[in-house]
Structure 1
Amino acid sequence: MAKFKQITHVIFDMDGVILDSEPLYTKAIQNIVGKYGKTFTWDVKNAMMGLNRIDGSQFIVERLQLPITWEEYDAVIQEEYKLVLADPPVFPGAQKLIKHLHKHNIPISVATSSSQDSFDLKAAKYKDLFSLFDHIVCGGSDPDVKEGKPAPDIFRVSATRFPDKPKPEKCLVFEDAPNGVQAALAAGMQVVMVPDENTPLESRKNATLVVTSIDETPLEKFGLPPLRID
């Protein structure tokens, strides 16, 4: 139990943690790269999850050796996202946890690699849910986030935007991607990982805690009010 530190603030990634949007990203990317005879495999996806827009587009073009520039790929994938990502489902467990923390006055925020436009598209149906957060940091367009995940910038920025500016060790992050876990740890925070079932064990080992569903997190170990399972 000694490895768990008491925390006061919680920071959520969005894609794959709050919104079940990762399968939709996979579909959109495959729709584009498939035109060039390429396959967006799980290994490629696992390596790029959590990257911001520019880094992600550059990664895909280089890794899959697409015969176009990353700028050209970025332009077409953004249009594809608008078609595919407009209606992602929310994870019921995440909704339950967010409402629980808000009810108990635990400061919470979102730190997503998405740009503001992308966030607005995906979150449009869930304005009531996202209104519960103290603030939202969209790393893909926020000028204060200089480097995307796995750099720690986005989580450090999110911590400073809480009114009381908690120290990193007082923050707990919820993440699904290895790049996000690395970013949270680099920021000096604890991180609960909710990985995709295909994520290799090797990519999970550095997380403070790994859970199969976000609402199974033993919050009391971090000094938070326990979430009762109905």
Structure 2
Amino acid sequence: MAETSTDRLTSTNVEGKNIGSVITHCIFDMDGLLLNTEQIYYEVTSEIFARFGKTYSLELRSRSLGLRQHESAVLLVNETGINMTADELRKERHENNLKRFPFAKPMPGAMRLVKHLKKHRIPIAVATSSSRESFNIKASNNRELFDLFDNIICGDDANVKNGKPAPDIFLAAREGIGNPPTNQCLVFEDSIIGIQAAKNANMNVNFNFFFNFH
């Protein structure tokens, strides 16, 4: 039987091979990795940009991945020159995203991997730049997945002072799963800025762009 992407993740990384240290705890980004929300972000932003004759390019999408809402809006307004303030863009995107988030589905292989880690008693956490409000809506129809996690940290939580690429969110997630040595933590990420944040936290990283929406 052919090896799946999940098989590669569990055999190559969770067992600590090829990454230089023994992995005891895992931390997951959410958007585009656990849930297929990137398609929603893409559609909503593309619809707004179309009113101004602009395209939401792959390059812009890649640069905005992992940023908090306001930081992403500032980047997009500055790069495209659309006739909106960053706050106006953030508000419209947020309102339209919230309407669609309940329909977000788990990414292929995500449930299988999380269940595998849970079965083997590896502490697992979610560290998402999404606000707590957004997370709750995204998770509302995905409780089977998120109830498996031992800790969930959101971008607007009080103990997350700075967004990615600062390490705050991963360090906060680590505290809620036993505060292990950082080099024993494996972060699953799908964005460059998230990888930088994990590295700044002195954690191992698995880059999972193949989970992402294209």
1:214 aligned partner: none
Once the two structures are superposed, the pairs formed by residues 74-89 of structure 1 within 5 Å of their partners are 74-89=90-105
Q: 1:196, CA displacement in angstroms?
A: 4.6
The percent identity for this pair of structures is 40
CA contact (8 A) 1:38 1:64 kept: yes
Contact 2:190 2:212 in 1 (8 A): no
Tell me the alpha carbon deviations over residues 65-96 of structure 1, each in whole angstroms, 9 at most, x when there is no partner: 12221111111111110233321121231100
Q: C-alpha displacement at 1:4, in angstroms?
A: 2.5
The TM-score, its normalising length taken from structure 1, stands at 0.81
Task: Name the aligned partner's letter for residue 131 of structure 2.
Answer: S
State which of 146, 150, 157 in structure 2 corresponds to 1:130. 146
Q: Please give the alpha-carbon distance, in whole angstroms, between the structure 1 residues aligned to 2:58 and 2:108.
A: 25
- How far apart are residue 2 of structure 1 and its match? 5.9
Deviation, 1:197, is 8.3
- Cα 1:196–1:32, aligned 2, differ >3 Å: closer, same or farther? farther
TM-score normalised per structure 2: 0.87
In the alignment, is the contact (CA less than 8 A) between 1:25 and 1:85 conserved in 2? no
2:32/2:212 contact within 8 Å kept: no
| Secondary structure in 2 matching 1:111 | strand
- 2:167 corresponds to which residue? 152
Secondary structure of the equivalent of 2:127?
strand
Q: 2:135 aligns with which of 119, 122, 130?
A: 119
| Alignment partner, residue 196 of structure 2 | 182
Distance in 1 (CA, whole Å) between partners of 2:149 and 2:57 is: 34
The runs of at least 4 aligned residues of structure 1 exceeding 3 Å deviation read: 196-199
Matches within 5 A, 1:42-57: 42-57=58-73
Counterpart residue number, 1:67: 83
Question: C-alpha separation between the residues in 2 aligned to 1:2 and 1:175?
Answer: 17
Please tell me the residue identity of whatever aligns with 1:189.
M
CA RMSD of aligned residues (A): 1.7
What is the letter of the counterpart of residue 193 of structure 1? F
The one-letter code matched in structure 2 to 1:122 is K
Structure 2: give runs of 5+ residues left out of the alignment: 1-16
Name 1:202's counterpart in structure 2: none
Rounded Cα–Cα distance in structure 1 between residues aligned with 2:97 and 2:18? 43
Contact 2:108 2:211 in 1 (8 A): no
How far did residue 60 of structure 1 move?
1.2
Partner of 2:35: 19
Is 1:35 equivalent to 2:51 in the alignment? Answer: yes
Cα distance in 2 for partners of 1:40, 1:119 equals 24
TM-superposed CA distance for 1:45, in Å, is 0.4
The offset of 1:125, in angstroms, is 0.9
Q: Tell me the amino acid that sits aligned with residue 73 of structure 1.
A: L
Instruction: In structure 1, give the amino acid aligned to 2:157.
Output: D
1:101 aligns with 2:117: yes
d(CA) in 1 for partners of 2:149, 2:211: 28
Alpha-carbon separation, structure 2, partners of 1:196 and 1:99: 20
- Aligned-partner Cα distance in 2 for 1:143–1:178: 24
- Residue of structure 2 equivalent to 1:173: 187
- Is the Cα–Cα contact under 8 Å of residues 42 and 198 in structure 1 kept in the other structure? no
